[in-house]
Amino acid sequence: MLAAVLLLAALAARGGLAAYRPNIIVIVGDDLGWNDLSFHGSDEIPTPNIDALAYNGAILNQHYVQPICSPSRAALLTGMYPIHTGMQGQPILESEPRALPLGHTLLPEYLQQLGYVTHGIGKWHLGFYRKEFLPTRRGFDTFLGYYNGIVSYYDHILEGSYPGYGWLGGYDMRRNESVAWDLQGRYATDVFTDEAVDIIRAHDQRLPLFMYLAHLAVHAGNAGKLLEAPQEEIDKFRHIANPNRRTYAAMVSKLDQSVGSVVAALQARGMLESSIILFMSDNGAPTTQDPYPNWGSNAPHRGQKGTLWEGAVRGAALIWSPLLNRRPRVSFELMHVTDWLPTLYNAAGGRPYDLPPDLDGVDQWTSLANDLPSRRSEILLNIDERARNAAVRQNNWKLVIGQAEGGKYDGYVGSSGSRTDPPFNFSAVLSSPAGRSLAQHSARSGWPVSREYAMAGLRARAQVRCGPTLVAKPCDPAPTADKQCLYDVQNDPCEKNNLADIYPTVARALKRTLVRYRAGLVPQPNAPLDPAAADPKRFGGVWSPWQDGPPSDALQEEAPATPSEQGDAEQPAEQPAEQPPAPAEDKPAADKQTPTKPPKASKAGNKSGAGRPAAAPAKPKEPAPAEEEDVTTDDSS
């Protein structure tokens, strides 16, 4: 506590507390499983750099995200539940004329208003069919990355097949709004890491920095080369028998090294003392899920990416900062991805009352900084009116209605490690680039660095245990939404015991909460796919905004020789033989949907608050008899 006071006093002496703005670094891992970070207790894949931040910051063990890519990113950057932006369904496809509505101000835009220099790196995936939706038009001063949901790790190409149209493929890597051909052939994780480090090295420290580093790792790539990593990295994981899991482990390791490089760069510039570092996964791993399995593990949680089980929506997360008055610790307080916008805005010195009053996110900065109880007791996990599923958490209780993908991914899958795993090496955490950087920071600031005995205690607390199951009562919600599953996830995090029949009043109360949320849902737009217009062949082989008139001359230039033609570029390791079906079968037909325009929210977020429930009570109370309303019906059909 004294060190934090002295830090603030020093900052005040430099130019006044009112002018102080911490650097904010948000690092997002893509499709990263709960059990794929060693600070959660697994020995299979060591992540010493991420662990160093975790064991010296706050491990957020009840941090919830959305089930899938675009919705999570929309929630993070808007502070809104996806049902209030129309983003609650499937992620945006490459030829889909859909984007996060312009009526919502994004986190980097708010931070620009506070004087921040803002940089976006990596994955965008919030729409690009018109230029007005590009990251450089929505709050980022610079951007280096890709517009779509995936690219391959070396060639940076996204490809697939569309029924009735055929194969579609193109290059997707931009430096601001120009095509970054010079990066083709370089491993994506290294590309984004180098950009982050270069930005930190060149940063003018008279201005606060916001960096959004949204990695491709560890999302699978295109069919035929789903998992890619340098061979020397793969060779470090010979204790893992499954070749796909082994390559995945190498991808996680490269992600961990990226975190270490960023922390070391901040320390080298003397910027750690005034920084907040948030690391999180956007959702759980799609372990065996077509078309993009990555062999990640959400163990011991149930379910995979895209479902409403804990394996998808309880996301790995941690926060590190000298501004946290109590650290290290494992926090079991409720947080949702929407909370980060108001939380970071407050931490940046913004006035919370300047934000729209109808944000779904809750400002948790005071709670995080001082280890106080969470300011929320309720989280809407999602309502998808097309998939006809919904879930909500209230205090210890969680209600799940309906299924995703017919229940194909509702089970318990993913590696829990094996006896051949090497024992966890605490010394590797201390000697990692992040560990050494934190030790150097500690020598200056007076904050102690966690030693091995402290890390062991934190690691034990962060490990999820399923608890005793005297009489298992499994539950599989019916796709027709006429069956619901109720869990006490505080005591049953693995969702093994359905309590709906034992606590029917609790189930009814949570169902009524979902009904109220459903009343304020913004329908998902029915924009038909447009592969002919979006075809990269029209734009020199590059994925580009396609509704802004004819292709520009710059985009019609011939692409440079590929890395294989050049002969001297870095090449990916050979892929394991086991591969899933190509993604073409999972693409919807281009003429499947009919367009309807969704309601547009105002820039200030002053849209209707209808259907917003009041603050949740401490315990569900006996409700009046409720109507058996289907909260998952698609009104657009």
Known catalytic residues are 69, 125
Helix, strand or coil, per DSSP, at residue 572: coil
Distance, CA of 249 to CA of 577 (rounded, Å) = 17
In this structure, what token pair is assigned to residue 568? 């001297």
Q: Positive or negative CA dihedral for 346, 380, 458, 618?
A: positive
Cα dihedral 368→369→373→378 (10° resolution): -30
Distance, CA of 153 to CA of 490 (rounded, Å) = 38
In this structure, what token pair is assigned to residue 501? 């029949």
Helix, strand or coil, per DSSP, at residue 384: strand
Answer whether 47's CB lies under 8 Å from 311's CB: no
Give helix then strand counts, H and E, for the chain.
16, 18
The span from the first CA to the last CA of the chain, in angstroms, equals 57
Q: Which residues contact 621 (CB under 8 A, 6 or more apart)?
A: 509
Answer whether 547's CB lies under 8 Å from 132's CB: no
Nearest CA to 259 among 27, 427, 56? Answer: 27
Helix, strand or coil, per DSSP, at residue 217: coil
Distance, CA of 375 to CA of 75 (rounded, Å) = 18
Angle at Cα 124 formed by Cα 120 and Cα 127, nearest 5°?
A: 135
Answer whether 18's CB lies under 8 Å from 348's CB: no
Radius of gyration for the chain, computed over Cα atoms and rounded to the nearest angstrom: 23
Alpha helices in 424-491 (DSSP H): 426-431, 433-445, 452-462
Q: Which residues contact 196 (CB under 8 A, 6 or more apart)?
A: 121, 211, 213, 258, 261, 262, 265
Q: What b/e readout covers 279-302, taking b as 16+ CB neighbours within 10 angstroms?
A: bbbbbbbbbbbbbbbbbbbbbbbb
In this structure, what token pair is assigned to residue 124? 């965008």
Got the DSSP string for 104-139? B--HHHHHHHTT-EEEEEEE--S--SSGGGSGGGTT
Helix axes 243-268, 433-445, angle to 10 degrees: 30
Answer whether 158's CB lies under 8 Å from 543's CB: yes
Q: Order across the sheet with 397-401: list the strands.
A: 378-384, 389-394, 397-401, 484-488
In this structure, what token pair is assigned to residue 322? 């000298």
Q: Write the Ramachandran bin of 355: left for phi over 0, alpha for psi from -120 to 50, otherwise beta.
A: beta
